[in-house]
A and B are shown apart, each in its own frame.
Chain A
């Protein structure tokens, strides 16, 4: 905590729930014991329940066309799921756009299953019994990249364009606090409460952050996707809502995913 700068203090002021801070000051022993807690949880990750439901949704015939998603091309050819997420977002010739996993799933649910755009985009994030098919599908597909090295391409001009746009967004300051992502995420060893604030401008943290989402959030009892993580940081930044599968969302994801290249993908994970 002593390393917190003025910027850090400002960051803290944003959080309504400061009591946890006291625990953070308890020092390294607490940090070590929290690590033991996290390890004890890793043995059985409820994210598996989402993976199983997602696999079922992937294989089950549904929609007006009564088709499964198994013919969906996630970038490595129709039906290839293994390793696909580690190479997303990427350019797709059939749509002429760079797409992340979520936009590609929306595309496949429309073209293969015959859903309308509104149906395919409905409920990106679930809550309790109001479940999200998107989250389950993402859990299944990402789990099929476990152990695969991140390898997000930058060969097509549109992929490079998306990366540059995402980078701009990351450093763009605005909103009532004049914050950018970088305000909270460009210093090493920064922490809020007991949470390490990853320095996303540095390879090691950027890699760990990207390769550990989706995650089962213990605090919510829900599986959350990387999309949700961005959505939530936009909210923390008091920025306008990050629209699901929008160009901005895909660009920011491209920037962060590409920066994780070379690291082994290791999710769905479990986080506090």
Chain B
């Protein structure tokens, strides 16, 4: 199973700034390993961020997103102490959801 994400969410002014690091190989399907075999594509396809049950960001990614992806975005309407959840699904159907508490 994939490693947990690192999620930092912080109130800055009237916005919540969210920074996420995900552990994922993001294989393009075009790289060859040392034996010359093509490494099959393996990449995150969908990312969803939710706060209080509401989607605050939805993304679709291709294999051109860098290995160990980084994502930053910001939204309004959250308070310190509340939770933000990030979920991803990759092209093999592997998935992971993690939560973080929004810091003041």
How many chain B residues have a CB neighbour from A under 8 Å?
12
Question: Is the beta-carbon distance between B3 and A221 smaller than 8 angstroms?
Answer: no
User: B47-55, B65-73, B74-82, B83-91: which one contacts chain A?
Assistant: B65-73
Contact call B25/A49, Cβ cutoff below 8 A: no
Task: Report the number of A-B residue pairs with Cβ-Cβ less than 8 Å.
Answer: 28
Neighbouring A residues of B19 by C-beta, 8 Å? 43-44
Count of chain A residues near B, Cβ 8 A:
11
Q: Which of A43, A52, A129, A221 contacts B68 (CB 8 A)?
A: A221
B67 CB contact (under 8 Å) in A45, A52, A221: A221
Which of the residues A46, A52, A53 comes within 8 Å of B70, measured between beta carbons? A46
Q: List 6 A-B contacts (CB under 8 A).
A: A44-B19, A46-B21, A46-B67, A49-B3, A49-B68, A129-B25
Q: How far is the CA of A164 from the CA of B66 in the complex (A)?
A: 43
| Distance from A53 Cβ to chain B, minimum over Cβ atoms (Å) | 6
Which residue from chain A places its CB closest to the CB of B69 in the assembled complex? A46
> Nearest Cβ distance between residue B41 and chain A, in whole angstroms?
14
B6 interface neighbour in A49, A128, A129, A221, Cβ under 8 Å: A49
* Chain A residue at minimal CB-CB distance from B68: A46
A237-269, CB < 8 A from B: none
The distance in angstroms between the C-alpha atoms of A128 and B25, with both chains bound, is 7
Q: Are A52 and B25 in contact (CB under 8 A)?
A: no
Per the bound structure, the CA–CA distance linking A215 and B30 in Å amounts to 27
Residues of B within 8 A of A (CB): 3-4, 6, 19, 21, 23, 25, 66-68, 70, 72
For the complex formed, measure the closest distance between the CB of A143 and the CB atoms of chain B, giving whole angstroms: 12
Which of A43, A49, A128, A129 is most buried by chain B, counting CB atoms within 10 A of its CB?
A49
Q: How far is the CB of B90 from chain A (nearest CB, A)?
A: 14
The 7 A-B residue pairs whose C-beta atoms are closest, nearest first, are A46-B68, A221-B67, A44-B70, A49-B23, A48-B6, A46-B21, A48-B21
Q: A residues touching B (Cβ–Cβ < 8 Å)?
A: 43-46, 48-49, 52-53, 128-129, 221
Chain B's nearest CB lies how many Å from the CB of A193? 21
Assess whether A44 is in contact with B25, with CB atoms less than 8 Å apart. Answer: no
**A129 surroundings in chain B (CB, below 8 A):** 25
Known: A46-B68, A49-B6, A52-B6. 8 other contacts (CB 8 A): A43-B72, A44-B21, A44-B72, A45-B21, A46-B21, A48-B6, A49-B23, A221-B68
Provide the residues of chain B in CB contact with A44, threshold 8 Å.
19, 21, 70, 72
Closest partner residue, chain B, to A129 (CB atom): B25
Cα A53 to Cα B6 with chains together (Å):
11
